[in-house]
Structures are given as C-alpha cells and as structure tokens.
C-alpha cells in the first residue's frame, strides 16, 4: 500500500514538472528556440568540422564552417524573400483584376446565401499600410535576432563539443554516460539523415512544381518552385501552403475553372508522390517516427515557437525518441510512438 502511494506521489510530481516545463516553453522562446536550432546545426556541421581539423588548425576549420553556415543561411533567405517579393509585386501590380474577381466570387457566394465581408481598394488606407509595414518590420527584427543568437550558440557549441564529450566520458555513472554518449551520437546521425533526405526531397519538389507550372503557363513558375522548395522543410503544413498559393493565383490568372482544377490536382499529385511515396521509401526505417507524431510535432512546436518551432519540431521529436530508446524505463515511448520498424538493434 505504501509503495503504491509513493508511486502515485512520484507520478504526480512528474506530471507537475512536465506541465511547468510546457508552460515555460513559450516564455523561454527567445532563448530556447535559437539554442535548439543551434544544436541541430552543430549536429549537421560537426562531421565536416572534424574532417577539416585534420587538415587545418582548429580555429581556421571553425571559421570556415561558420562561413559556410552563414552563406547557406543568406542564400536561402535571399531566394525565399525574392520569390515571395516577386509574387507580392505581381499581386500589387494586378490589384484591379484581383478586386474584380473578388467581387465576382463575393456576388456568387451571396447569391447562395453566404455573406462575405466587403473588401475594396478603399480599404487599403495609409494606416493599414503602416500597420502592415510595422508587422513586417517586427518579423524581420525577430528573425535577425533569432539568427544572431543561434549563430552565437553555434560558435560556442562548436568550440565545446570535444570538451563536452570528454566530460561525459569521465562521468562516474555508467548508465548516464552510455545514455548521453550513445543517445547523442545516434541522434546526430538521424538528424543528418533526416535533413539530407528532406533537402533532396525539397529540391525534387521545387523542380517538379517549376516544370509543372511552366508547362501550364502559370506566371511566376520559378518563384512557385522556390516557394515549394522552402516550405517543404515543414512537413504537412508547408506542402499544403505551397499548393494553395499557386492555386489561388491560378484562380485569378486563368479564365477557365478547368485550368485551375488542373493546377490544384497537379500540385497535389506532386506533393503526394514526393512526400507520401518517394520520401518514405528513401528514408526507410531510419527515422522510426510515426506520421501522427510528425504532424503533432509541427503543430505543437509551431504553436509554442512559431515558424521556427514548426521547422525544428520534427528534429526535436527525433531527438527525444532516440534518447528514450536508450533507457529501459522509457523504451516503451519508442514502441508506442515509433513506426515499429527501427532498423537499429535495441540497446541492452
């Protein structure tokens, strides 16, 4: 009786601790989100850093690695901003046509008994434009702060990886030492494979969307391909948005509903073929992550940390399940939420 009471008290404290951590996560977003992203970058970059350290001094290798990271971020951000900017300029230049189609759709919906709020060109007042500019500026400042903090974490973390590994190896507790060492290594391997597969699939998706939209004669085909490439890094939600944007654009540009339907069906077929058929067969059982957990990770971490949370939500779940797999008391979590097809042997 006493043992069951102690277990109940222990479970209660664990539940309270979990709830407190969940409550603190949104408040600690400014610190924890860049740190988590920096750990992902370190896991991806460390093998390259190790190979370069065999050829050049440590700090020169670190400088080269950081330059590569910064260049990759700048190029990625530039092409994405350019693509969305091109779409935005096209929409502004063709605002009268958008307004005309909007009025036609509104009239059709009202005939069916569906009320729609009226949006006219007069609605775009100076105050609304200023609010939009302020919102965009706020998001840009937040993104710059995020990248700056994350880059600082990456610099410090890359300098501490070897020392941190030695400190773990010197721990007295064998179970804690094996959990941290084996869990960290396997997590880093899975994250590198996840990001490499995601990158290849994103490139394939972007190319297919570009070819498809260009074949149909939809304007801004290159931009739609780049947008599909960028948004594909966010599972489920990103491909959905990358499908809706060109479809809504085609609704304005094409006069026939058959062309719009062709755009919608074609884009969905591309997303389904790459995301639901090719990618699972390429990744195999390496990640061992249930699709339900993937979707939950995107929405949960996106709710807590915004766009960056949606991007790193799946890597966080991969890391958590990998560490759970290396401890007997938490291995049931992997059996419950994994795919059940993990190709690695279970640790003793």
pTM: 0.79
Residue 19 domain-assigned? no
Query: How far is the C-alpha of 230 from the C-alpha of 224, rounded, in Å?
Result: 10
> What region, left, alpha or beta, does residue 125 occupy, with left being phi > 0 and alpha being psi -120 to 50 degrees?
beta
Asked if residue 315 and residue 302 are part of one domain, the reply reads: yes
Per-residue pLDDT of the chain (348 residues; tens, 9 = 90+): 555 555 555 556 656 666 677 677 777 788 888 889 999 999 988 888 888 888 888 888 888 888 888 888 888 888 888 888 888 788 777 666 666 666 766 676 667 666 555 444 444 444 555 565 566 566 666 777 888 888 889 888 888 888 888 888 888 888 888 888 888 888 999 899 889 988 999 999 999 999 999 998 888 899 999 999 999 988 888 888 889 889 888 877 777 778 888 899 999 999 888 877 787 777 655 566 777 888 888 888 888 888 888 888 889 988 888 888 887 877 777 777 765 444 444 444
Q: Is residue 14 part of a domain?
A: no
Q: What domain count does the chain have?
A: 2
Q: Do both 161 and 40 map to the same domain?
A: yes
Contact call for residues 283 and 292 (beta carbons, < 8 A): no
Q: What is the residue range of 116's domain?
A: 29-170
> Could you say which of 115, 149, 170 is where a domain stops?
170
**Domain boundary, last residue among 170, 198, 226:** 170
Same domain, yes or no: 223 and 333: yes
Does 206 share its domain with 80?
A: no
Does residue 57 fall inside a structural domain?
Answer: yes
Do 318 and 330 belong together in one domain?
Answer: yes
Per the domain annotation, does 181 fall within a domain?
yes
Give which of 205, 266, 192, 264 is closest to 235, Cα–Cα.
205
CA 105 to chain centre: 34
Which long-range contacts (C-beta less than 8 Å, at least 24 apart) are formed by 83-86?
A: 83/222, 83/223, 83/224, 83/226, 83/227, 83/230, 84/223, 84/227, 86/220, 86/223
| CA 247 – CA 224 distance, rounded (Å) | 11
Instruction: Note whether 122 and 257 are same-domain residues.
Output: no
Closest CA to 336 of 269, 301, 289: 289
């Amino acid at each position: 009786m006493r043992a069951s009471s102690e277990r109940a008290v222990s479970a209660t404290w664990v539940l309270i601790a979990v709830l407190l951590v969940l409550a603190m996560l949104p408040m600690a977003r400014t610190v924890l989100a860049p740190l988590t992203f920096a750990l992902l970058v370190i896991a991806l970059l460390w093998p390259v850093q190790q190979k370069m350290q065999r050829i050049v001094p440590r700090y020169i290798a670190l400088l080269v690695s950081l330059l590569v990271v910064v260049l990759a971020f700048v190029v990625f951000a530039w092409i994405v901003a350019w693509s969305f900017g091109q779409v935005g300029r096209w929409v502004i230049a063709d605002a009268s046509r958008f307004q005309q189609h909007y009025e036609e759709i509104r009239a059709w919906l009202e005939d069916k008994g569906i009320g729609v709020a009226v949006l006219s060109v007069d609605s775009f007042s100076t105050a609304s434009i200023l609010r939009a500019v302020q919102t965009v500026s706020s998001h840009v400042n937040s993104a710059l702060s995020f990248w700056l903090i994350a880059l600082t974490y990456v610099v410090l973390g890359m300098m501490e990886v070897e020392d941190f590994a030695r400190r773990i190896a010197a721990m007295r507790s064998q179970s804690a030492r094996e959990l941290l060492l084996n869990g960290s290594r396997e997590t880093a391997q899975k994250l590198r494979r996840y990001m490499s597969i995601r990158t290849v699939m994103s490139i394939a998706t972007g190319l297919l969307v570009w070819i498809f939209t260009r074949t149909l004669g939809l304007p801004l085909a290159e931009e739609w391909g780049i947008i599909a490439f960028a948004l594909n890094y966010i599972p489920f939600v990103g491909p959905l948005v990358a499908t809706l944007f060109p479809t809504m654009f085609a609704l304005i540009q094409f006069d026939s509903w058959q062309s719009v339907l062709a755009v919608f069906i074609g884009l969905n077929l591309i997303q389904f073929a790459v995301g639901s058929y090719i990618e699972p067969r390429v990744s195999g059982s390496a990640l061992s992550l249930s699709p339900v957990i993937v979707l939950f990770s995107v929405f949960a971490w996106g709710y807590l940390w915004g766009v960056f949370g949606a991007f790193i939500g799946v890597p966080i779940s991969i890391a958590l399940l990998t560490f759970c797999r290396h401890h007997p008391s938490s291995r049931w979590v992997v059996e419950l939420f994994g795919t059940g097809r993990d190709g690695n042997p279970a640790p003793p």
